[in-house]
Amino acid sequence: MPKICPTCERIYPDFVDFCVAGGFRLQRHVPDQTVPGAGHAPGEESETTKDLEPLDASASA
């Protein structure tokens, strides 16, 4: 499974552990299609959720 740099988001092969450009340790890349909320820390809202909340509040008010 490929790995992705958490800062520059470059995708690397599985055997690479370090991002040369970003200088950060790579994380396993999980495609967003298979795992809902992938790429977000636990308890952190996704951008789509944040965008929808004000619309819902104004519609109900």
Q: What is the pLDDT along the chain (61 residues), one digit of tens a residue?
A: 788 777 777 777 777 777 766 666 666 655 554 444 555 555 555 454 444 455 545 555 5
Amino acid at 38: A
Looking at the domain assignment, is residue 57 inside a domain?
Answer: no
Looking at the domain assignment, is residue 5 inside a domain?
Answer: yes
Looking at the domain assignment, is residue 51 inside a domain?
Answer: no
Report the SS3 class of residue 28: strand
Structural domain including 11 reads 1-36
- The reported pTM is 0.31
Looking at the domain assignment, is residue 50 inside a domain?
Answer: no
User: What does the longest C-alpha to C-alpha distance in the chain come to?
Assistant: 53
Total count of domains within the chain? 1
Looking at the domain assignment, is residue 20 inside a domain?
Answer: yes
Contact of 29 with 9, CB cutoff 8 Å: no
Structure letter (DSSP) for residue 45: P
